[in-house]
Amino acid sequence: MTFLDYFTDPILRSPTIGCMLMCMAASLTGVILFFQRRLMVSESISHAAYPGGVAGILVLSLFGPAMEEYSFLAALVGALVSSWIGLKAISLLERKVKIKSDSALTFALAVFFGIGILLASWLQEVQPMWISQANILLFGQAATLTDLHIAIYGALTVIAISLIIVFFRPIQAILFDRGFSKSIGIKTRMIERFLFWLLLFSIVAGIRSVGVILMSGMLIAPAIAARQFSNRLKTIFCLAAFFGAMSGWLGNVLAVEIAISYERVHLPTGPVIVLVGTAFALLGMLFSPKRGVFFRLIRIGAFRLRCLEENILKRIWMKGNLTRQDLKRSFSSSLRFVLFRLIRQGWVKESNGQLMLTTDGTLKAARVVRLHRLWELYLTQQLGVQAERVHRNAEEMEHILTSEFEARLTKLLLNPKQDPHKQPIPDRGIL
C-alpha cells in the first residue's frame, strides 16, 4: 500500500481519516484534562458511556434488523446521556457526599461499567443478533468506520479547534488559575460548560474507534507526549493534535501492513492506535531535549564530569605538582579519562610523571577555590553556620555558582580577602 492509498482507497479511506480526526479531537481534550489534573475523569466517563450505548442499541433493536445501520447513532445518543449522568454523579459524590475525587471516580467507573455488562448480557439473551454492536463499543472497531463517521469526527474536530482558538485566553486562565480568572471577569462557568460538553462528545464519539476500555489512553498519551517538548500551552495543543493524528494514521497503517505481510496475524486497529500513541509518549519522556530521561542522564553525567575535573584542578592548585598515583588515592573514578580531557583542554600538563597546571588551568582552579571560600564566608557571616560545618556544602556549591552570583556575593561580603578559616580568597581581578 502507498501513502495515498490510505486516503483514497474506498476501504481504507474512512478508517484512516476517521481515526485521525477522532484522535485529534481526543488529544486536544486530553490536554485540558492533563492541566486540570483530572485524567482519571476520562477513564470514568468512557466506562460510564458503556451502559447508555448498550441501552441505545437495545432500544433500537426493538424496531427490527432494518434499523441496524443506525446503531452507531443510537449508541452515540445513549452513551452521551449515560456519560452525562456519570459525570454529574461524580460531581455530586464529591460536592455533596464529600467523597474524595479518586474514590468518586473509581466508584462511578465500577458501577456504570457493571450496569453496562448486565445490559449487554440481557441484550445477548433477548436480541442475540445485536450483541456484536455492543461488543464494538467495548473493544472498538476502527476498521469498519464509514463516511458517516468521518463527518461526525470531522465536525467534532472543527468544534474542538474552534473552541480552543476562540476561547484560548479564558481557557488558559482557567487551567492555571481559576480564582484569578473569575476575579477579572472571565465567565468561567460558561467556558467550563463548553469544555464539559467537548469532553463528553470526544469520549463518546471515540468509543466507536478504540472502545470503552482504551479510550482514556487516546486522550492521555498525546497530551503527555506533547508536554515533554514545550512549556507553552499553544504549542502543547498543536503538538498533541499532531501526535494524535499521527497515532490514528500509523495505527491504521501498522494494522493493515502487518495483516498483509503476515496472513495469520490480524491486529485490531483500535488497540494499535493506542499503542502508537503510548509509544509517542514513551519516546517523548525518554528523548525530549529538555525533559527526556536520556538527555537528563547526559546532563547529569556532564555535570559530574565537570565537578570531577574542577576538583582535580583545585587539588593540584592547593597541593602543587602531583603524580597520577597521588591523585588516584582520592580520585579513583575515571581518573585516566579525566586527566586525558584536562591535558587536551590545556588546563594540565605532564612532565616527568608530574602533573602541573598551565596558566589557564591555574586561573580555572583559582576561580573554583574563590567560589568555595566565598560561599563558606557567606554561610558563616550571613547565616550563622559554624565554620567547621560549611566545607561540605561549599564543596557542592562551588560547581553551581555562576559569575552573576559570584559578583553578588563579593558585593554582599564587601570584597573579602579571607575565608572563615583565615585562608586567602583568590582575587577576582587576576582570574
CATH number, residue 391: 1.10.10.10
- The amino acid sitting at 201 is F
Mean pLDDT of 241-252: 95
Mean pLDDT of 332-348: 90
The span from the CA of 143 to the CA of 11, in Å, is 9
Split at pLDDT 50, 70, 90, the class of 227 is: very high
Beta bridge partners of 418: 424
Do 342 and 278 fall within a single domain?
no
Q: Is the dihedral of CA 286, 292, 293, 299 positive or negative?
A: positive
Q: Which of 258, 291, 324 is the last residue of a domain?
A: 291
- The residue ranking higher by pLDDT, 363 or 430, is 363
The percent of residues above 90 in pLDDT, for the chain, comes to: 53
Q: What percent helix, strand, coil does the chain show, rounded to 5? A: 80, 5, 20
pLDDT tens, residue by residue, 370-415: 999 999 999 999 999 998 899 999 999 999 999 999 999 999 999 9
Long-range Cβ pairs for the range 359-367 (8 Å, 24+):
361/313, 361/316, 362/317, 363/430, 363/431, 364/310, 364/313, 365/310, 365/313, 365/314, 365/316, 365/317, 366/317, 366/426, 366/430, 366/431, 367/426, 367/431
CB atoms within 10 A of CB 403: 10
Do 373 and 266 fall within a single domain?
no
Mean pLDDT of 141-161: 87
Do 299 and 334 fall within a single domain?
yes
Do 331 and 385 fall within a single domain?
no
Split at pLDDT 50, 70, 90, the class of 68 is: confident
Do 224 and 300 fall within a single domain?
no
Do 369 and 399 fall within a single domain?
yes
pTM: 0.84
pLDDT tens, residue by residue, 162-211: 989 999 999 998 888 888 888 888 888 888 888 888 888 888 878 878 88
| Whether the predicted pLDDT of 364 surpasses 90 | yes
Query: Which range of residues forms the domain containing residue 387?
Result: 362-430
Q: Which of 266, 291, 316 is the last residue of a domain?
A: 291
Residue carrying the nine cell digits 591535558: 343
Do 155 and 283 fall within a single domain?
yes
Do 57 and 94 fall within a single domain?
yes
Split at pLDDT 50, 70, 90, the class of 429 is: low
Do 376 and 282 fall within a single domain?
no
C-beta separation of 248 from 305 below 8 A: no
SS3 call for 98: coil
Do 325 and 366 fall within a single domain?
no
pLDDT score recorded for residue 431? 53
- The amino acid sitting at 292 is G
Lowest mean pLDDT across 43-47, 68-72, 267-271, 277-281: 68-72
| Whether the predicted pLDDT of 430 surpasses 60 | no
Q: How many domains does the chain have?
A: 3
CATH number, residue 95: 1.10.3470.10
Do 166 and 240 fall within a single domain?
yes
CB-based burial label for 261 (10 Å; 0-12, 13-18, 19+): exposed
| Whether the predicted pLDDT of 69 surpasses 80 | no
CATH number, residue 342: 1.10.10
pLDDT tens, residue by residue, 80-127: 899 999 988 988 998 888 888 888 988 998 999 999 999 999 988 888
Sequential DSSP letters for 151-203: HHHHHHHHHHHHHHHHTHHHHHHHHH-HHHHHHTT--HHHHHHHHHHHHHHHH
CB-based burial label for 230 (10 Å; 0-12, 13-18, 19+): middle
pLDDT tens, residue by residue, 279-289: 999 999 999 99
Mean pLDDT of 217-224: 92
- The amino acid sitting at 33 is L
Q: Which of 250, 268, 291 is the last residue of a domain?
A: 291
Do 373 and 333 fall within a single domain?
no
